[in-house]
Chains A and B, each alone.
Chain A
Amino acid sequence: MQWLLAKEWRELWSARAWWLMLVLTGPLVGLSFINAVQMYAELSGLNGTAVGVGEAFSPLVGVWAPTFSAYELVAAFLFPFVVIRLVGGDRQNGALKLEMQQQISSLARVGAKALVLLTAWLVAMLPLVIAGLLWKSYGGSSYAPELATIAFGHVLNACLTIALGAAAAAVAEHPSTAAIITLSVTVGTWVISFIAALQGGWWELVAVFTPPALVAQFQHGLIRLDVTLSTLALAAFGLVLAALWLRIGVPAQRRLVESIAALGTVALIIGACTMARASWDASENRQNSFSETDEAALRSITTPLHIEAHFAMEDSRRAELERMALVKLRRIMPRLTVTYVSQTSVGLYEQNTEHYGEINYTLGSKTDTSRIVTAEGVLETIYGLAGVTPGVERDDEIFRGHPLAVPPRHASALFFGVWPAAIAAAWFVRYRRQA
């Protein structure tokens, strides 16, 4: 196994796709970081913007989410080629025919590649360390739990990319076919998200597990156990699929049957994972939670609550209701059920329909109707139905924000100059040593 890991590691560093990805990652992260810090600074009052606008600003939302989002591009458009190169390369040059004769299971061989690729991903995240040091040097505030959460989300996303690329490279005869499969799946997940936004229903449930939705949750500092476990199960399935199809000495029909069995198994596992309700809000500003006093009051309500909201899928009020209230409410009231009622996806021609825009609350035998979609409005209605009076929010509970009116000094030089030059120099030294 040690030799296999060493070989995969050497193969990684021999791959030009990997060096290209590494050299491009710096400028991509830099572009996101510089734009985010500039915007953050301007909203915090730099160059005369209204003072106080950025007071409740969180670096997670203002700086780190956009900076990390560079890795969504890397995961979608660069990293798959590195994965395909490492997994499919053995098949192309014949090394697979040699290595498969060793008494190491196909899954172990794929596992070694996955481990090396995951390490490669962590190496590719080095520009974030530069961003972090720059941010600190500007006097920026950072909150470790939310940074760890967002990084974890992107590592999970990388796991999905590794699994997808490995499976595609194993199933396809040629790397170009594998690349087309991988990109098709990526585009497919975007299509699912798009349809979910229009149709809702089952599409919406599935869309939660697509990479963009996965990353979005972590970028808000939210760790959901169901999403995390389902992602890990999906990644494991991709690796198992790759291992099954790299056994080229096994009849294709048997590999197909085993793949279908693996698919059925992972579907059951993911079904079980979705039952997990636990979630953690790692954000400093508790953007996925109500205040502690509100949460205490809501916990005291044991009667099941049902909400029926008359909003179409694309109605902005529905999105606001979800984001501002229901996402938080589901975390604290696991017995909450929500139903959306609408005749169209846009809602534009339903505005005059009776009850459109109404939110009906049913708590036990009590009911109430409201049209307010803000967190305060929703809570007020629920408290009214339950007869609960929340405590007064303490002053220290309120997130005051970390405005920072400092421009992104030295960032351009580091990300667009030093990083690419350092990577290019490292590649050149290695190339000369090999030549």
Chain B
Amino acid sequence: MTTSPLLTVSGISKTFGRLAAIEDVSFRVEPGEILGLIGPNGAGKTTLFECLAGVLPPSRGQLFTAAGRPLTADDRSSLIFYVPDGIRPYPDQSLGWVLDFAVGFFGGHPDNARRVIESLQLTPLLTQRVGVLSKGQAKRALLAFGLLTPQPVLMIDEPFEGLDLKQTRDAAATLRAHANGGRTLFLSIHQIADAARVCDRLLLLSGGRLRGEGTAAELIGRSGASDLEGAFLALT
């Protein structure tokens, strides 16, 4: 049985002057899945995420809702939440307040807050200013921020960047728990092993173009490699 996609991305392209950062990228996001976007540095992963989230205007292309109509700005706000990488928002505010803000401003469920905070081991940091958190702590804080928002699709750019092995596994478990709860996750990950462990399906992006799409096994099979890293190298 096939389900209708939650989101359909059709022919997204983004150029910066003469440089084509993304070219004609099309794929579908299925409800409740963890979709991974993998690719080498400079493949256009962040650009693609920002175009999908409306942070960057795409040069061409369109997004469609489950009902098959073009995604409007209002649709996007109610459907997608995007957590960028490399940001340190509200550095002068306490983490506790920032997470309250995430729930209050974006209309999340306050009941989730405690569970998210505990699962990401943020409780001891709640009184700390965001600006003084370490890189890994700040990343976990951003993950919590995203997980507290109510949109059915959560896009996270590099969710495990700056996390150690244990933290990565804990964060992955938290993300999986949310996906099991019905939320769709779309993660941009440059560590192939992390992506293979967490994601249900993968998109392989290289040189701004989509080079492969499917489960890890499908990508391995298609490339003739013995593992996902081999498939990654063969397809990029």
Show the binding face of A for B, using Cβ within 8 Å: 2-4, 6-7, 10-11, 14-15, 90, 93-95, 97-103, 248-251, 434-435
Cβ A93 vs Cβ B87 within 8 A: yes
Chain A residue contacts of B53, Cβ below 8 A: 97, 101, 249
Cβ A95 vs Cβ B89 within 8 A: yes
- In the bound complex, what is the Cα–Cα distance between A4 and B77 (angstroms)? 17
Q: A101-B54, A249-B55 are in contact. List 12 more A-B contacts (CB 8 A).
A: A7-B90, A14-B93, A93-B87, A93-B88, A93-B90, A98-B89, A103-B78, A248-B56, A249-B53, A249-B56, A250-B57, A434-B92
Cβ B101 vs Cβ A97 within 8 A: no
Interface centre among A14, A98, A249, A434 (most CB of B within 10 A): A98
Identify which of B83, B94, B101 contacts A7 (C-beta below 8 A). Answer: B101
- In the bound complex, what is the Cα–Cα distance between A6 and B98 (angstroms)? 11
- 9 A-B pairs with the lowest CB-CB distances in the bound complex, closest first: A94-B87, A14-B92, A95-B89, A249-B54, A3-B105, A103-B77, A251-B57, A3-B104, A94-B89
Cβ B93 vs Cβ A10 within 8 A: yes
Cβ A102 vs Cβ B92 within 8 A: no
* B135 to A: closest C-beta gap in Å: 14
| B129 contacts chain A at the CB level, 8 A cutoff | yes
| B160 contacts chain A at the CB level, 8 A cutoff | no
Closest to A253 in B: B57
What is the size category of the interface that chain B forms with chain A?
20 to 34
- In the bound complex, what is the Cα–Cα distance between A251 and B16 (angstroms)? 12
B 49-98 contacts with A by CB, 8 A: 53-57, 74, 76-78, 80-84, 86-94, 97
Cβ A434 vs Cβ B129 within 8 A: yes
* B124 to A: closest C-beta gap in Å: 16
Chain A residue contacts of B232, Cβ below 8 A: none
Cβ A102 vs Cβ B106 within 8 A: yes
Interface centre among B53, B81, B86, B101 (most CB of A within 10 A): B101
Closest to A2 in B: B104
Closest to B103 in A: A3
Identify which of B77, B91, B104, B129 contacts A101 (C-beta below 8 A). Answer: B77
Chain B residue contacts of A435, Cβ below 8 A: 129
Chain B residue contacts of A251, Cβ below 8 A: 57
- In the bound complex, what is the Cα–Cα distance between A7 and B105 (angstroms)? 10
Cβ B55 vs Cβ A102 within 8 A: no
| B145 contacts chain A at the CB level, 8 A cutoff | yes
